[in-house]
Amino acid sequence: MKKVLVSTRLPIEGFSALKEHFEVVMPTDKAIFSKEEAMQLLPGFDAFLPTFQFKVDKDVLDVAKSSVKIIANFGVGYNNIDVKYAAECGIVVTNTPAPVIEPTAEQAFALMLAVARRIAECDRKMRLSDGLKWGVMENLGQSLYGKTLGIVGMGRIGQSLARRALASGMKIVYHNRSRLSTQIEKEYQAEYVDLDSLIQTADFISLHVPLTDETKHLINSERLRKMKPTAILINTARGPVIDEKALAVALQNKWIYGAGLDVFENEPEITPELLRLDNVVLAPHNGTGTIDARIEMSRFASRNIIRFFEGSRDITRVN
- Catalytic sites, residue numbers: 238, 267, 285
237 vs 261: CA distance, rounded Å? 9
Nearest to 7 by CA among 103, 75, 85: 75
| Pair 258, 279: CB distance under 8 Å | yes
34 vs 149: CA distance, rounded Å? 41
Residue 306's SS3 state is: helix
User: Helix crossing, 101-116 with 291-310: angle to 10°?
Assistant: 150
Distances, alpha carbon 84 to alpha carbons 78, 89, 92, 217, 218, in Å: 11, 9, 10, 22, 23
Phi, psi of 19 (to 5 degrees): -70, -15
Beta bridge mates, 151: 174, 206
Amino acid at 297: M
Q: How far is CA 158 from the centre of its chain?
A: 12
89 vs 59: CA distance, rounded Å? 12
